[in-house]
Structure 1
């Protein structure tokens, strides 16, 4: 999109200290022990709990996100979501460390899909704790037209017959807690009237990053080799009120993992093990 050419290549750097409290809070919210301490390896994808971008009320859009413009381009489409991403884990990040994150806009692309016009913004992040880049990440953000009709809530179904499967209850408390831990003000995750009446969802939407965290977690618990790469893509939203199955099948040098409600896959991902790039 030529009108946003000036945004491509924009870069900004922020720093944060990876205190244990946030990582332990997420661990406890997901049923873990919450016993991490300074110097321990940060669980994979817990870096999303840090680098908050807190805006005053005047700096928020009606959806609860920071208002458009600033670092990200002011795409004139009302619905925005995190569509997927790719990560390379070069070296561990330790809790208690001060970490810098450099973010760069790689592209702004317009496409046409079944639901109308889509604009994809791809952002690269590089995290560094002073010993070289620890994580290289690309995030794909998608901006969409207003919904013309609401999706149905999936019907609960038995757990899929697969090598790994865990069941999560994506209830409003869990969604609220994840929103709070990531300072994600997007109202589709905790404000049911807004999600239903303004964005035409049938229920509260389960965060894409939360699903990705669940997926990499089941892989970490079942694979013998360290995870060095992770790519994920949202296929369709997951909602509260229906059990969410976190599933996986091991393969050569990693695994295929996915979340599933009813008969449909919500997020699919590939986990890679072996030597880091």
Structure 2
């Protein structure tokens, strides 16, 4: 029995948005919000440090054999306020979530594979291998930071995509896209699944979710630019946090060394 078994969701999980990143997710999240849903996207866990710890535990258990696999109650404990779950790291647990939440509807936004890869290869993959990420993953995060969203994304991507570096990540991306969508379509009954085509507007989504069509245009967000801004901000913030932890650590050590020196010096004088 999960230690979080007594935790109840605050709202029902109504939608598993299991589309790959770079398929209009930012626009879709805005659409869900307009329809009255609370949404959890890949950007949200960065601003929620406790979530980062939980995702790291879930990743370690699933792919690295550390700890026990997460159960529904474990996810409910920190995701229970959201009607919609989407994006990485959520979709890395698609099989588990589909089994745990059979009542949730599922949305897939498909995209031309070559166009998707061009966007993903330019926007997502390189951003996991920037100099800042290398500093974070090799020096700052393992020793100075409480949670490791940069490492989390890289580790999950490596495990989920079956790769070990930037080149193999890019080489496996297309096949992962195809296998992921095939898996979802195979497991989800037709009445529970919406294959949404970007540009279709409110009609198909509102009909599927049983919502009234809003009296405003379907949102469109420049996702590539939004993602770049987000990644830059995340990496800078984590670098800043890591360096501050280093400064504090050095200060503590320095103070200790100074205190020991002064104490020792005093003993020599007064002893």
TM-score bracket, normalised by the shorter chain, equals under 0.3
Larger radius of gyration: 2
Where relative contact order (Cα < 8 A, 6+ residues apart) is larger, the structure is 2
Task: State the TM-score, normalized to the length of structure 1.
Answer: 0.27
> Which has the larger share of strand?
1
> Which has the larger share of helix?
2
